[in-house]
Amino acid sequence: MTTFTHTAVGGALGCAGLGSAGSFAAGFVSHFPLDLIPHWDLKSKWMESCLTLGALGLLFALFGPTPVFWGALGGALPDLEHLLPFSRKFYPSHGRLHGKALGPTHALVQAGIVLVCAGLIYRVGLS
């Protein structure tokens, strides 16, 4: 999945009442099964970074250092290794387990996932 999708799912997991550390861990672990599913990945690291940092910044601005923010950060964090200058990947789903690559129309599925997560975050975050 795109890092933006991982960020949204992690943020939504932050609404599950797990606390900050639990939400961070849930987001981090959720990255694994989402990467196993066949999906489309954004090719531009620059655009991916901007979208993810923008989402994390928005969540922090709206909710502060709450479990929603920590869950989102945990969801996004494994993809940080794509920006590092190492050829070897350490997160388990970034190797041979990574899901089959789909075309850019899969972005519509991921947009749906992000919208559902954003709705959940918005609803829980304001209650």
Cα-only R_g, the chain? 14
> Which residue number is nearest to Zn ion in terms of Cβ?
79
The minimum distance between CB 23 and Zn ion, in angstroms, equals 18
* Helix-helix angle 106-125:3-13, to 10 degrees: 30
Q: 39 - beta bridge partners?
A: 101
* Alpha-carbon span 93 to 32, nearest angstrom: 5
Q: How many residues belong to the site for Zn ion (CB under 5 A)?
A: 2
Q: Does position 41 bind Zn ion by CB under 5 A? A: no
Q: What binding mask, one character per residue, do residues 52-81 give for Zn ion by CB under 5 A, x or -? A: ---------------------------x--
Residue placing its CB nearer to Zn ion in the complex, 66 or 110: 110
Residue placing its CB nearer to Zn ion in the complex, 48 or 79: 79
DSSP-derived 3-state class of residue 86? coil
* Alpha-carbon span 121 to 127, nearest angstrom: 10
Binding stretches for Zn ion (CB under 5 A): 35, 79
